[in-house]
Amino acid sequence: MSSYVPELSSIEGLKRIEEFDRDQMAGLCLEETHAVYPHQQIYGKYCTIEEYINCPPEDVFQYLADGRSLEEWTWSTRDFVPTDEPGLMMGWDRLADDTKIYCRTISNADAMTVDYHCAWDQGEHLWMIYLMRVVPAQLVLGKPGSVVLWSNCHHPNYDENPYPWSVPEGRDTWVGQLWHFFYAGHVVEMQNLKKILEHRHATGQTIRPWNKSAGSESEKTMTFQ
């Protein structure tokens, strides 16, 4: 089957080699490649970081998929406890004063994806979504270990809190005011993740020390789904 579908020519703006040749593509790539980019252009709608971690991907996944790990590798989320709703945890985000954070951890062991669905102040609408994927480094870098990909999308609620009734009295900070610091903050937290997992792997420690009674790390991970 030919990769060229004539009907595609009616879609404005498509660039395919059938109509947009190599020289045109090279010129466009040169035009779009800059030495310096405005912060808004790079981090305005999405915030994505990545890191290599010298720890087996199965262990990295199990660690991330266990929501209790957030208290170790994140900079500011602490003291998570279960709520009355199954799978929903409530903790405190010390990024701001008197700020509750709600979190549901959703993971897929086959794809090694871990998504944290979170929100400040209320747990009815978890709109702050932290998307993480663990990739075997042997596949993509040709060496043991893991590559962790982490993305956030700029939800409209970052611009304006739709739940002002849930804000504790006296707090004047909203998470969206800090969006332009997300990249830097997430880099710090990714380095925390890397250092914790590499240390435990190198020293032969259990990856999840709070879960010693569960036996080997290959056993089913406790997740808050």
Distance CA 80, CA 99 (A): 12
> What's residue 1's pLDDT?
42
* Residue 80 within any structural domain of the chain: yes
* Residue 46 within any structural domain of the chain: yes
Q: 50 forms bridges with which residues in the sheet?
A: 149
* Residue 88 within any structural domain of the chain: yes
Q: How many CB atoms are closer than 10 A to CB 58? A: 17
- Walk along the chain (225 residues) in steps of 10 and give the mean pLDDT of each run: 64 80 87 81 86 98 97 95 97 95 98 98 98 98 98 96 95 94 92 95 94 50 40
How many Å is the maximal CA-CA distance in the chain? Answer: 64
Does the predicted model carry a pTM greater than 0.75? yes
Q: Measured between alpha carbons, how far is residue 154 from residues 32, 118, 119, 164 in Å? A: 23, 14, 13, 19
> What's residue 28's pLDDT?
86
* Residue 220 within any structural domain of the chain: no
Distance CA 129, CA 110 (A): 20
Domain of 134?
37-214
State the CATH number of the domain containing residue 48.
3.30.530.20
* Residue 11 within any structural domain of the chain: no
Q: For the chain, what is the domain count?
A: 1
Distance CA 201, CA 92 (A): 29
* Residue 189 within any structural domain of the chain: yes
Residue 94's Cα: distance from chain center in Å?
19
Q: 82 forms bridges with which residues in the sheet?
A: 89
* Residue 22 within any structural domain of the chain: no
> CB neighbours of 215 closer than 8 A, spacing ≥ 6?
none
* Residue 151 within any structural domain of the chain: yes
Distance CA 24, CA 160 (A): 42
> What's residue 34's pLDDT?
79
> What's residue 200's pLDDT?
95
> What's residue 44's pLDDT?
81
> What's residue 18's pLDDT?
74
> What's residue 225's pLDDT?
37
